[in-house]
């Protein structure tokens, strides 16, 4: 006679079957940003290429990268503990190493890569990405999501954006891309306004106890909101790339585009590897190494686009696809880093769950 399962066996089986849809949902939720990113890129590129030009130009003007960057940095600083930022300032080795990798090593390893690209606008665009400073928003977002030290990531973004104003023209002149005269003081004032100011205001907002508790309580929700703003910035860049692609006379082959994608991914992964090696060499803790890996490899989209405009204005030939490597690198760094951050976040959650109470 077949035995009837006990109540404990039935409940365990029920919880097992109930947990499978929940696990699938959580896995989908963890990778939902990548799906949204792909959708935003495809829609933005196609809309920018085929929609009426007046509509595309109006949409690009409506989304101001400086404003969105200000909002993201203020929110990230508001949810950043002042104590952690103070400790990062007192022990700046990780931040200084990440800055050196971003502004010196990454451009150096990019020089032999751009020599193998078929189009001059691809070579220029990819090198512009390499000399650009660290992205202001997503480096902090992914570092925080991976349970890293977001205060170190914030310092790297501030240092690279401050020093990158001088480093970028030197690198561009070194590889003979052109005599680029950037509006240095205008860039510095913009960086102070949209990078340093929101960071200070965010820390000031943590002064009142009620504001500080609200920021800590809604920290994850604020991070998700910042990811939405990042998608908005990417959509604007995709619109601009689609609009610029209308000027291309020769059709772009899939092989050429694939080479650009591989080059962007290789440079980004190499930069992350340098950050990991640098963190080990400095004997930094895992949280600091995580911040170095993300911050030294990510490059900012708005500053790179500004550099591309400056180079295109002084070039002897039209460069309609100069923004394509910039957009490709930015999209790939988000995909790669989001996968890595999600994996590390799950590892931390599993380690915390397995610890005895």
Instruction: Reduce the DSSP state of residue 107 to 3 states and report it.
Output: helix
What does the block give as tokens for 148? Answer: 């890293």
Q: How confident is the model at residue 315 (pLDDT cuts 50, 70, 90)?
A: low
pLDDT of 264 over the 50 cut: yes
Tell me the CATH number at 210.
1.20.1530.20
- The mean pLDDT of 181-193, rounded to a whole number, is 64
Q: Is 6 inside a domain boundary?
A: no
Q: Is 306 inside a domain boundary?
A: yes
Lowest mean pLDDT among 161-170, 173-182, 221-230, 264-273: 173-182
pLDDT of 183 over the 80 cut: no
Considering 150-164, 284-298, 314-328, the range whose residues carry the highest mean pLDDT is 284-298
- The mean pLDDT of 295-318, rounded to a whole number, is 76
- The mean pLDDT of 193-210, rounded to a whole number, is 81
Q: How confident is the model at residue 2 (pLDDT cuts 50, 70, 90)?
A: very low
- The mean pLDDT of 256-271, rounded to a whole number, is 91
Give dist(CA 184, CA 19) in Å, integer. Answer: 56
Q: Is 255 inside a domain boundary?
A: yes
Q: Output the pLDDT for position 182.
A: 57
- Any residues with CB less than 8 A from the CB of 67 and at least 6 apart, and which? none
- Any residues with CB less than 8 A from the CB of 48 and at least 6 apart, and which? 56, 238, 239, 240, 241, 242, 243, 245
Q: Output the pLDDT for position 16.
A: 44
For 115-146, the pLDDT digits (tens) are 878 778 888 889 989 988 887 667 877 888 88
- Domain count for the chain, please give it: 1
Over pLDDT 90: what percentage of the chain? 15
The answer to whether 44 touches 235, Cβ cutoff 8 Å, is yes
Q: Output the pLDDT for position 270.
A: 95
**C-alpha distance from residue 353 to each of 79, 319, 356, 357 (Å):** 24, 53, 8, 9
Q: Is 25 inside a domain boundary?
A: no
Of residues 186 and 255, the one with the higher pLDDT is: 255
For the entire predicted model, the pTM comes to: 0.73
Token pair 């599993």: residue: 350
Q: Is 325 inside a domain boundary?
A: yes
For 8-34, the pLDDT digits (tens) are 444 444 444 445 554 554 555 556 777
Token pair 């990819």: residue: 126
Of residues 162 and 251, the one with the higher pLDDT is: 162
Lowest mean pLDDT among 78-82, 175-179, 203-207, 274-278: 175-179
**C-alpha distance from residue 142 to each of 76, 138, 203, 331 (Å):** 11, 6, 20, 14
Give dist(CA 286, CA 93) in Å, integer. Answer: 14
Q: Is 142 inside a domain boundary?
A: yes
Q: Output the pLDDT for position 280.
A: 93
Token pair 């585009």: residue: 257
Radius of gyration of the chain (CA): 22
Domain that holds residue 256: 36-338
Q: Output the pLDDT for position 31.
A: 64
Q: Is 136 inside a domain boundary?
A: yes
What does the block give as tokens for 146? Answer: 């991976």
Q: Is 201 inside a domain boundary?
A: yes
Q: Output the pLDDT for position 354.
A: 60
């Amino acid at each position: 006679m077949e035995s009837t399962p006990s109540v404990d066996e039935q409940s365990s089986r029920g919880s097992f079957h109930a947990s499978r849809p929940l696990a699938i949902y959580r896995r989908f939720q963890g990778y939902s940003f990548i799906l949204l990113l792909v959708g935003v890129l495809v829609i933005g590129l196609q809309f920018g290429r085929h929609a009426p030009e007046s509509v595309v130009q109006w949409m690009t003007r409506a989304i101001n990268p400086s404003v969105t960057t200000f909002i993201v940095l203020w929110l990230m600083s508001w949810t950043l503990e002042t104590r952690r930022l103070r400790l990062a300032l007192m022990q700046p080795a990780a931040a200084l190493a990440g800055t050196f990798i971003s502004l010196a090593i990454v451009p150096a390893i990019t020089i032999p890569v751009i020599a193998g690209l078929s189009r001059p606008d691809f070579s220029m665009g990819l090198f512009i990405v390499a000399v650009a400073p660290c992205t202001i928003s997503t480096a902090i977002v992914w570092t925080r999501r991976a349970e890293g030290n977001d205060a170190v990531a914030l310092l790297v973004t501030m240092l690279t954006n401050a020093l990158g104003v001088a480093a970028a023209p030197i690198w561009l002149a070194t590889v003979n891309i052109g005599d680029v005269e950037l509006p240095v003081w205008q860039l510095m004032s913009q960086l102070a306004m949209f990078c340093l100011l929101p960071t200070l205001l965010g820390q000031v907002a943590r002064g009142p106890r009620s504001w500080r508790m609200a920021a800590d309580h809604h920290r994850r929700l604020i991070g998700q909101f910042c990811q939405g703003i990042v998608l908005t910035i990417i959509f604007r860049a995709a619109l601009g790339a689609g609009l610029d692609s209308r000027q291309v006379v020769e059709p772009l082959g899939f092989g050429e585009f694939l080479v650009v994608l591989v080059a962007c991914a290789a440079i980004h992964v190499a930069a992350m590897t340098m950050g990991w090696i640098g963190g080990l060499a400095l004997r930094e803790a895992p949280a600091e190494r995580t911040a170095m890996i993300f911050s030294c490899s990510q490059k900012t989209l708005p500053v790179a686009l500004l550099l591309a405009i400056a180079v295109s204005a002084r070039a002897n030939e039209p460069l309609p696809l100069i923004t394509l490597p910039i957009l490709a690198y930015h999209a790939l760094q988000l995909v790669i880093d989001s996968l890595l951050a999600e994996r590390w976040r799950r590892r931390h959650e599993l380690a915390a769950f397995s610890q005895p109470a």
